[in-house]
Structure 1
Amino acid sequence: MTLADLLDSALVQPGFDAIEVTDITLDSRKAGPGCVFAALPGVKVHGRQFAASAAERGAVAVISDAPIDGIGVPVIAVEDPAALFSFMAAKVFPGQPEHVVAVTGTNGKSSTVEFLRQIWVKAGIDGASLGTLGVTRGHEREVTGYTTPDAAALQKALSALASEGVTHLAMEASSHGLKQRRMEAVNLKIAGFSNLTQDHLDYHPDFEDYFRSKQRLFTERLPVSGTAVINIDGEWGVKIAQSTRARGVKTLTIGWRGEDLQLLEVVPRPASQSVAFNWGGETIRMEVPLVGEFQVLNAILAAAIAFEEGLDRDLVIAALQSLEGVAGRLEKVGETADAAPVLVDYAHTPDGLDKLIRAARPHTRGRILVVFGCGGDRDPDKRSKMGAIAEELADMVIVTDDNPRSEDPADIRRAVMAGCPSATEIADREEAIFHAVTELREGDCLLIAGKGHETGQTVGDVVHPFDDREVGARALKAREASHV
């Protein structure tokens, strides 16, 4: 494949048809012979600073938003180099599953795409999910490290899945990925929306920019021939539904206020929930083996997408009744001898923490204990808000470190404690979890929030091995041993 093959004719210059291209990257360290380097503007630095290094490593061309002199290889300067990077990556790594569903929202993306994948499996469809948890197919999972990988990594993953016979893919669409044009070359059939609350304001200048980035999935990425499936329980879902209808896109709405799939009733059980919803004028009742109303909303979003795809109704209902929880999402790691459970969840936003504690309350006879912290180099405005939510809704709160990254962990904890002054502060996360487990009584429930499925804790530039689930299990074992 030549450089000319990767570009529209208007961008082709003399000699481009003689330049062979075998790879494309935005990481100059991975550039080599036959590679195109994308020098894109970043949050902290511009990729043009690394263009010369990429050329020295063997890059045969560079794409950017402005000319770059003196690097010895062609520079293709366009107004939107991120979009060009995506389309070029799709040609370098051709092929993708024929049926791609993308789901966006602040919370619920991971669960929804995984639930949809499980429904497909029940229907005998070779499907996969891609997102925060990685690429999941069958019983195998490959960790990617990003909710929406960069365009080259994404197209490479899509190409590999298609070559392996995967026909259906459910993927998460992050606000970063949408704003940075990572998904520009993905051919979408259906787009889903879960909810929108405060998050990522360290990256987005304001909430409106955050919303517009999410909305791009429906106003720019989803073709008019596609279908939008939207939870309209919040004002932002209503706005997105209005925008898709204005474009002439087929739009289904779900939720307590849903017009197409309306949730009618959710009754909590010890380890499940009785659910009733209306679809097509018929009331459907079932037992869903999940804890938390928000998980029901994720499940019915997946169900509505499956219904729209034409899957058999009875098969979808049967799949909903056998759903397996998603890693790090209200995941039970064990319980005390008195049956007080320890649950790990990824909740790391004010809304996520609020929903987590409220979800656990109907299943808990005694107290709710919460261990959580906030990440460094991320939206500082949410820290005291999360502290206030924990103070109001939980019975015992322990504030600890999350992923402090480059910030002083004590400063982060201090900001959180401003919202929950009566909380206990224990800096060491393992010590905090062990302490919380020793405090459990019969009927209590411990929620360890913020990191979920993560297996590392980032302090400075170093990622230390750390898994809330593993630490929680060890704490329970230590408690049991001490009570013998």
Structure 2
Amino acid sequence: MTNAQTRAAELEEGFSLRALADGLGELTAAADDDVLIMGICDDSRYARPGYAMLCLPRSRAHAAEYAEAACRQGATAIIAVGVNVTSELPVLKLKTMQQAGQLLRRLFRTEHARTHFYGITGTDGKTSVAWMLREALTRYQSQPVWSCGTLGWLRAPDDILDIGNTTPSMLTMHAMLSSARLEGVHGVACEISSHGIAQERIAGIDFHTAIWTNMGHDHLQDHGGYQGYLQTKAAFVQATAAHGGNVVANADQPDIREHAPDNTCWYGHGLYRKDVDLAWEQELPGVLRLKSGDEEVVIEDIPLGDFHAENVACVALTLMVSMAVPVTELPALLEHISAPPGRMQEVTAGYGQVYIDYAHTPEALERCLHAARKLTRKRLLVVFGCGGERDREKRPQMGAIASELADLVWITSDNPRGEMPAVIASEIEQGMRQPYVAEIHLQLDRDKAIGEAVAALADGDLLIVAGKGHEAYMDVCGQRLPWSDEAVASRHLHCKHGLEIVA
């Protein structure tokens, strides 16, 4: 998907501005003569004749400027949401984002769309659950199923379109719903980020099911601390329940237990517990046992790692709750299910020595290293860093986790943005309790750090390169430079074993 496609959408047929405004907002005097809306955009650069320009609350400081630019581009009308805009064009004034969501449902003619939206929120696990849920629902349904989130708008594993954010803009969300209606798509599994909730990008979308995976430390700086972050997640889940949607949540998370609505369906670790709707246990890597009431099944050949076992259990309960899938049918839907790129992904298949993982929070890194420990016969090595201009509290926490759970640790750079990598590394080191349990290395050049770690691998060792996973860039001083942990690790691994490097 091009940037223009995420910032603008053309309609199937025109829509009267007056009919669009009816019962929702106030039209300015300039709208005495009705106009026909043929498309909509939320970026003035993509305005065209017949298009309405959508000015949202976040653009408040520049709304007038954007409206004027859209007018120069030939726009037909302005839709101002919670902002004051004066224009020679007709202006439709809306007070809230919820009204804007209703307007987009009307504009795209999706008021009666039957597509099920599954919203996955939580600190970690969103991408994996969305990916696996799409795959499982595709097996179960005769209709296609999509997902959207960190990896993009995914129509199929080989058809992934970039959407810019984990939770896309409100315009993109509604354009996606419109496309799903037109193409007969059963459902869309959406990652719902805290930013997406707080900025109301999901306004006007009625979620069939809300899924709450876990809570940890991430983006705290944007929500005034952990409690604000927690309340933001809870608000989405509670709103879904309030309009009659299903809620599936992780019973092993105390904060989720406290803030989830009364009608929540729970999954949890421990096969014989009675306080959950679906219990799970992983006896061997890649094998999952599920129990609901008196029924018990085994799911074989799932992705490695206890966290993936939990993700599959989450998907299993979602299928049971949202589609009334019997427990006995779960193995057929979940066996051989895949994991998304960069989530405990083996580098250079066959060696079983190097894995890349997106773990970039304390909770995710801890779970990743615990899972890796079960897979290694000897030493566990890890290369990781922390992003710049993001939650600083997690840096020493991740340092403590790495130094306690691994045998050899390389601290390196990971999207430093505008911060000095050495400063970030020093804050990571502050959490490493002395005397160190692990052997600590500081190598800020990520390529060299991965190379040193691969060179140190002995027979029976295992290396985790954590933090970036699928990401194809390194964010440095406002630039996104090309980068791939998988490619770099593969190159060093091939060189170590004297193999030909395949481009």
TM-score by length of 1: 0.90
Match among 274, 285, 307 for residue 320 of structure 2 = 307
Specify whether residues 289 and 220 from structure 1 end up closer, same or farther in structure 2 by C-alpha distance, changes over 3 A only: closer
What does residue 45 of structure 2 align with? 29
Can you give the 5+ residue segments of structure 1 that lack an aligned partner in the other structure? none
- For the 8 Å contact 1:333–1:472, the answer to whether it is kept is yes
Residue 463 of structure 2: SS of its match in structure 1?
strand
What does residue 254 of structure 1 align with? 267
Specify whether residues 442 and 186 from structure 1 end up closer, same or farther in structure 2 by C-alpha distance, changes over 3 A only: same
The reply on whether 1:267 has 2:280 as its aligned counterpart is no
1:227-262 CA-partner distances (Å, limit 9, x unpaired): 111111111221233xx22xxxx4311112673434
1:207-227 CA-partner distances (Å, limit 9, x unpaired): 122112111222224454221
What does residue 10 of structure 2 align with? none
Question: Which runs of structure 2 are paired with 1:92-241 in the superposition (5 Å)?
Answer: 92-95=107-110, 98-125=115-142, 126-139=144-157, 140-241=159-260
The CA RMSD measured in Å over matched residues stands at 2.5
Q: Could you tell me how far apart the structure 2 residues matched to 1:285 and 1:9 are?
A: 53
The reply on whether 1:473 has 2:494 as its aligned counterpart is no
Match among 277, 302, 326 for residue 290 of structure 2 = 277
Shift of 1:324: 1.1
Specify whether residues 296 and 25 from structure 1 end up closer, same or farther in structure 2 by C-alpha distance, changes over 3 A only: same
1:432-475 CA-partner distances (Å, limit 9, x unpaired): 11111111111111111111111111112221111111111111
Shift of 1:46: 5.5
- For the 8 Å contact 2:63–2:85, the answer to whether it is kept is no
| Amino acid corresponding to residue 145 of structure 2 in structure 1 | G
Specify whether residues 8 and 429 from structure 1 end up closer, same or farther in structure 2 by C-alpha distance, changes over 3 A only: farther
What does residue 400 of structure 1 align with? 412
Shift of 1:283: 2.4
Q: Could you tell me how far apart the structure 2 residues matched to 1:265 and 1:478 are?
A: 39
Question: Which runs of structure 2 are paired with 1:328-343 in the superposition (5 Å)?
Answer: 328-334=342-348, 339-343=351-355
Moved more, 167-176 or 280-289: 280-289
Q: Could you tell me how far apart the structure 2 residues matched to 1:105 and 1:3 are?
A: 39
| Amino acid corresponding to residue 91 of structure 1 in structure 2 | R
1:185-224 CA-partner distances (Å, limit 9, x unpaired): 2122111111111111131112122112111222224454
1:391-434 CA-partner distances (Å, limit 9, x unpaired): 11111111111112222223222222322386312122122111
Specify whether residues 224 and 331 from structure 1 end up closer, same or farther in structure 2 by C-alpha distance, changes over 3 A only: same
- For the 8 Å contact 1:194–1:230, the answer to whether it is kept is yes
Q: Could you tell me how far apart the structure 2 residues matched to 1:385 and 1:16 are?
A: 61
Can you give the 5+ residue segments of structure 2 that lack an aligned partner in the other structure? 1-14
Shift of 1:94: 3.8
Q: Could you tell me how far apart the structure 2 residues matched to 1:173 and 1:384 are?
A: 27
- For the 8 Å contact 1:402–1:457, the answer to whether it is kept is yes
| Amino acid corresponding to residue 428 of structure 1 in structure 2 | D
Shift of 1:340: 4.7
Shift of 1:44: 11
What does residue 351 of structure 1 align with? 363
Shift of 1:121: 2.2
Q: Could you tell me how far apart the structure 2 residues matched to 1:302 and 1:282 are?
A: 17
What does residue 380 of structure 1 align with? 392
Specify whether residues 312 and 394 from structure 1 end up closer, same or farther in structure 2 by C-alpha distance, changes over 3 A only: same
Shift of 1:155: 1.4
Shift of 1:353: 0.8
Total equivalences in the alignment = 470
Shift of 1:6: 2.8
Shift of 1:26: 2.9
Shift of 1:387: 1.3
Residue 298 of structure 2: SS of its match in structure 1?
strand
Q: Could you tell me how far apart the structure 2 residues matched to 1:36 and 1:212 are?
A: 34
Q: Could you tell me how far apart the structure 2 residues matched to 1:355 and 1:51 are?
A: 48
1:139-180 CA-partner distances (Å, limit 9, x unpaired): 322232321100111211222233222112211111111111
Q: Could you tell me how far apart the structure 2 residues matched to 1:264 and 1:165 are?
A: 34
Specify whether residues 17 and 276 from structure 1 end up closer, same or farther in structure 2 by C-alpha distance, changes over 3 A only: farther
What does residue 12 of structure 2 align with? none
Moved more, 250-259 or 342-351: 250-259
What does residue 2 of structure 1 align with? 16
The reply on whether 1:453 has 2:465 as its aligned counterpart is no
- For the 8 Å contact 1:123–1:315, the answer to whether it is kept is no
Shift of 1:49: 5.1
Shift of 1:111: 0.9
Specify whether residues 51 and 306 from structure 1 end up closer, same or farther in structure 2 by C-alpha distance, changes over 3 A only: same
Residue 410 of structure 1: SS of its match in structure 2?
helix
Residue 334 of structure 1: SS of its match in structure 2?
coil
Q: Could you tell me how far apart the structure 2 residues matched to 1:78 and 1:91 are?
A: 14
- For the 8 Å contact 1:265–1:276, the answer to whether it is kept is yes
Q: Could you tell me how far apart the structure 1 residues matched to 2:274 and 2:67 are?
A: 50
Match among 21, 40, 51 for residue 67 of structure 2 = 51
Specify whether residues 375 and 94 from structure 1 end up closer, same or farther in structure 2 by C-alpha distance, changes over 3 A only: farther
Residue 228 of structure 1: SS of its match in structure 2?
strand
Percent identity, aligned pairs only, is: 32
Q: Could you tell me how far apart the structure 1 residues matched to 2:50 and 2:398 are?
A: 49
Q: Could you tell me how far apart the structure 2 residues matched to 1:258 and 1:202 are?
A: 38
What does residue 430 of structure 2 align with? 418
Q: Could you tell me how far apart the structure 2 residues matched to 1:131 and 1:464 are?
A: 21
| Amino acid corresponding to residue 88 of structure 1 in structure 2 | L
- For the 8 Å contact 1:268–1:363, the answer to whether it is kept is no
Specify whether residues 239 and 37 from structure 1 end up closer, same or farther in structure 2 by C-alpha distance, changes over 3 A only: farther
Specify whether residues 85 and 414 from structure 1 end up closer, same or farther in structure 2 by C-alpha distance, changes over 3 A only: farther
Moved more, 88-97 or 52-61: 88-97
TM-score by length of 2: 0.86
What does residue 36 of structure 2 align with? 20
- For the 8 Å contact 1:399–1:425, the answer to whether it is kept is yes
Shift of 1:30: 2.5
Q: Could you tell me how far apart the structure 2 residues matched to 1:97 and 1:258 are?
A: 35
- For the 8 Å contact 1:335–1:341, the answer to whether it is kept is no
